Chains A and B, each alone.
Chain A
Amino acid sequence: AQKITQTQPGMFVQEKEAVTLDCTYDTSDQSYGLFWYKQPSSGEMIFLIYQGSYDEQNATEGRYSLNFQKARKSANLVISASQLGDSAMYFCAMRERQTGANNLFFGTGTRLTVIP
């Protein structure tokens, strides 16, 4: 089974609107962490936001927030007030404590296009 599933290969959003990028995960570990990264066309991986499995509040970082629904095993990324510079690939990733170390499992990504 896939550890991280991103079901939206591509998404479009109007500039200044909010958009939600879906991510579901699969783990039997009680302790895990969820990450979102942005990869623009230049190719670098930019860390956006982190949510720990024991964090009771949803993580927020500026215009990014993580809608963490533990029972549903979902960790959707919400981008508010979209900007043209938000056009990029977005990857959801998970780290499990049971696998040790800090190796991350990545989803296949969602390509977001912001329309002016």
Chain B
Amino acid sequence: NAGVMQNPRHLVRRRGQEARLRCSPVKGHSHVYWYRQLPEEGLKFMVYLQKENIIDESGMPKERFSAEFPKEGPSILRIQQVVRGDSAAYFCASSPPQGLVTEAFFGQGTRLTVV
């Protein structure tokens, strides 16, 4: 019974490259959330997706960041033309379709380092 799976665990990109972060939710979960944790800070909400729909992207930077959750396959957080300030841990969480969660399980995170 696998939990939320994120890959890669660590990702190094040079400035200007693209970063793709993947999140496979818990089986049966159709809601996915992405959070970013800057060094020495708490997590900050970025985006909430359901299958093929972006529900809330109020926490997403306006440029270079995009997210998708296709009908088949994992959710992808894409960062174009990365800059040093994008270095952070990116966490994904998932939840079932009904109700509000009383437990929110996170993946192990992807640590992005921009050099």
Contacts and interface: CB of A to CB of B under 8 A. Distances in A.
Interface of A: 4, 33, 35, 37, 43-45, 47, 50, 52, 91, 93, 95, 97, 100-109
Nearest to B95: A102
Interface of B: 31, 33, 35, 41-45, 48, 55-56, 59, 89, 91, 93, 95, 100-109, 111
A33 B100 contact: yes
Given A91-B42, A102-B48, A35 B56 contact: no
B35 to A, nearest CB: 8
A50 B42 contact: no
Contact of A104 (B41, B43, B55, B108): B43
Task: Name the residue in A4, A44, A107, A108 with the highest tally of chain B Cβ atoms < 10 Å from its Cβ.
Answer: A44
Given A33-B100, A50-B102, A109-B42, A103 B59 contact: yes
Contact of B103 (A44, A50, A108): A50
Contacts, number: 67
Given A35-B104, A45-B43, A47-B105, A103 B89 contact: no
Given A43-B111, A44-B106, A101-B48, A106 B100 contact: no
B56 A44 contact: no
Contact of B100 (A4, A95, A109): A95
B22 to A, nearest CB: 16
Nearest to A9: B40
27 contacts: A4-B42, A33-B100, A33-B101, A35-B104, A43-B89, A43-B108, A44-B106, A47-B104, A47-B106, A50-B102, A93-B43, A95-B100, A100-B55, A100-B56, A101-B48, A101-B55, A102-B31, A102-B33, A102-B48, A102-B100, A103-B56, A104-B35, A104-B43, A105-B45, A106-B35, A108-B42, A109-B42
